[in-house]
Structure 1
Amino acid sequence: MIVPQYWAEARLQHRARGKSVTVRRFGWSDDSLQAAQAHADARVREAMDRILAGEPLIRREHRMAYNGAEGLPIREEIVERHGESVITRNGYGALCLNSPDVLFADIDFSDAPPATLVKGALLVLVATAVALGIWRQSFAAGLVATIAALIFGYSLAKAVHRARVGLAGGHEARTRRGIAEFIARNPTWGVRTYRTPAGMRLLATHAAFSPADPRVGECFDALGVDAIYARMCRLQHCFRARLTPKPWRVGMGRHIKPRYAVWDASHAELNERRKWIDDYLYAARGHAACRFVEAVGNPTIHPQVAPVVELHDALCRANERLPLA
């Protein structure tokens, strides 16, 4: 279960020798609110027992929809279910595809230099500054040069990074080359690649994967997938891909209601929310979330993956020549 239908919360307090311990835990279920409450009650009792035994557990779980939820399932509005995959509406109103076994990975383009390059630039500049101070036999000159090195080191690293990207043919060419090199090292793999507004998306087609599979981590590391996304895949036992445009990219000037609240079934009845969704669908009608680029590697598509590819491409409008948003 990656996106439960029902949620509840339980609270338990323990008093002993003038001290009080209060623990709160969420529970969830696809069956009923009562089943979710029973699950919450069981989880809070277990947590209290472990805390009283000396285990350093958190007292209260954070109410988070997706990013930041420490091991809790995704808590978003369920829009549709397709087999094991679930389409949800995220906190800012876009639809997302959540799959327990079909590997998605977004690779964002960035002008920020890698940490190793920044460290290297700082090391070279600081060493030069120290050498200058020794050569001039002036502590002050060395100190000023060192401060300047620390100030301008990041700028130098950024300039070098941009030059590298430019020599590689740009962000997209560089990323596609990295994907091709990964496939060359892993010839059993097959992937579909897509252009997104901020980078590229990869969808593995040759096999189904558990997010905890070491091969998934190796793939993410090799391709520079966002570390937070990789962590959330492991914690929430699913992969995730946005299917519809980000609202602000299609001219939506106002936010979905309620703006920051974690999903609750009562939100579905809010007129403001329903009106926002209607306006968003109208605004997004001429845009795509990603565009198919090419298939790379093993052409065999795993039978569990095939329907997810079809669903993803249709809802993203990946094969239509539309502006990306």
Structure 2
Amino acid sequence: MRIFKIWVEYSKELDIDGIKQSSKVYGGSNISESDAIIDAQNKLNRAQRIIYGELQKDEEYESDIVEEIIEKIDDENIVTRNRYGALVLNSKRIMFIDVDNYSKSITDHFFRKNLSVKELMLTKIKKTINQKKYSHLGFRVYETNKGYRILVTNKNFNPRSKESKKMMEDFNADYLYRWLCIKQNCYRARLTPKPYRIKQKGIKVIYPKRSKEQQKQLDDWIIKYEQKSREFSSCHLVYQFGEVKVDKIIEYHDRLSGVKWPNKLA
């Protein structure tokens, strides 16, 4: 999980088919700007070796999460502000599974029973949870605006492990979400509403190179966003199963997501 408090933009010429081309990347560090520059240099050196054929592209190369750190709960759980202004919990080991659609088998079922799409999705989730191979796990299932968020409470996972990938598949997790978990080597859960769902004017969060004017625009936007967000929730708890354990991270998630508020989902 590459989330850092210091980001430095760094450029270097790379040799591409005998032609020098300037390439620019961000390097990250929690120590110093000079350490961040070394990180950037390592990235560009690696890119040059791939161009020369000395290295092969690694499909599981860890991507940066270049977002402003809002709160560091601990070393493995960090809250950032994403590109459109919402707060996101980034967790290295706590598994969140996003389910935003239903599989074909459920679609067939949809035409046979008078159930809504969300009811069908929840039926599928419960059926998967009740499989014998998952009987040792504790689950909390939250309803979101589009679908459901599943949280495993009593076991940690490596986002790139075969076990994690298989669970994502079994629960029909959103494909893009699965891919991001692997690329970023962490699980992510949005804590606050999407701006357009609460009729808040959108903003593109500039980070890390933000001018004073951009900072003021963001500060003003955040004040309005936080005011409107109080009337909405990101998710509601609808189902629990197995040996459920609630720790400080889950409590944090529930509090900022407005789980206990009888608000509209956004």
TM over 0.5: yes
Cα shift at 1:168: 6.5
**Residue aligning to 1:149:** none
Taking structure 2 as the reference length, what is the TM-score of the superposition? Answer: 0.86
Q: Which residue of the partner structure matches residue 124 of structure 1?
A: none
How many aligned residue pairs are there?
260
Are the aligned partners of 1:2 and 1:100 in contact in 2 as well (CA < 8 Å)?
Answer: no
Q: Report whether the alignment pairs 1:242 with 2:190.
A: yes
Matched, 1:266 2:227: no
Greater CA drift, 100-109 or 265-274: 265-274
- Partner residue, 2:94: 102
Segments ≥4 residues shifted beyond 6 Å: none
CA RMSD of aligned residues (A): 2.8
Query: TM-score, normalised on structure 1?
Result: 0.72
Q: Which amino acid aligns with 1:29?
A: S
Please state whether the residue corresponding to 1:31 is helix, strand or coil.
coil
The one-letter amino acid of 1:323's match is: K
How far 1:309 sits from its partner (Å)?
Answer: 0.8
Q: Which runs of 5+ in 2 are unaligned?
A: none
Q: Is contact 1:12–1:45 with CA below 8 Å preserved after alignment?
A: no
Among candidates 243, 248, 261, match of residue 307 of structure 1: 248
2:236 to 291, 311, 315: 291
CA spacing shift, 1:171–1:322, aligned 2, 3 Å: same
Task: Work out which of the two has the higher radius of gyration on C-alpha atoms and give 1 or 2.
Answer: 1
In structure 2, the partner of 1:172 is 118
How far does residue 109 in structure 1 lie from its aligned partner after superposition?
3.8
Q: What is the distance in 2 between the residues matched to 1:49 and 1:230?
A: 29
CA shift at 1:292, angstroms? Answer: 0.9
TM-superposition CA deviations, 1:148-184 (whole Å, max 9, x none): xxxxxxxxxxxx9376266163223322222222222
1:191-248 residue CA offsets vs partner (Å, 9 max, x unmatched) = 1011111111111112011101222111111111111110110111110011011111
Worse-superposed segment, 22-31 or 99-108:
22-31
Give the fraction of aligned pairs with identical amino acids, expressed as a percent.
Answer: 27
**CA separation of 1:53 and 1:170: change in aligned 2, threshold 3 A:** closer
Offset, 1:45: 2.4
Cross-structure match for 1:215: 163
Which structure 1 segments of 5+ residues have no match?
59-69, 118-159
SS, match of residue 150 in structure 2: strand
User: 1:130-151 CA distances to partner (integer Å, 9 max, x unpaired)?
Assistant: xxxxxxxxxxxxxxxxxxxxxx
Farther off after superposition, 189-198 or 33-42: 33-42
Query: 2:9 corresponds to which residue?
Result: 9
User: Equivalents in 2 of 1:267, 1:288: separation in Å?
Assistant: 31
Cα distance between partner residues in 2 of 1:197 and 1:206? 26
**Which aligned pairs between 1:60-209 and structure 2 lie closer than 5 A?**
71-83=62-74, 84-109=76-101, 114=104, 161=107, 164=110, 167=113, 169-185=115-131, 186-209=134-157
Mark the CA change 1:89 to 1:39 in structure 2 (over 3 Å): closer, same or farther.
same
Contact 1:2 1:238 in 2 (8 A): no
Kindly indicate which of the two structures has a greater share of residues assigned to strand: 2
The answer on whether the counterparts of 1:192 and 1:202 sit within 8 Å (CA) in structure 2 is yes
Higher helix share: 1
Instruction: Sort the Cα spacing of 1:228 and 1:96 in 2 relative to 1 into closer, same or farther, 3 A.
Output: same
What's the secondary structure of 1:270's corresponding residue?
Answer: helix
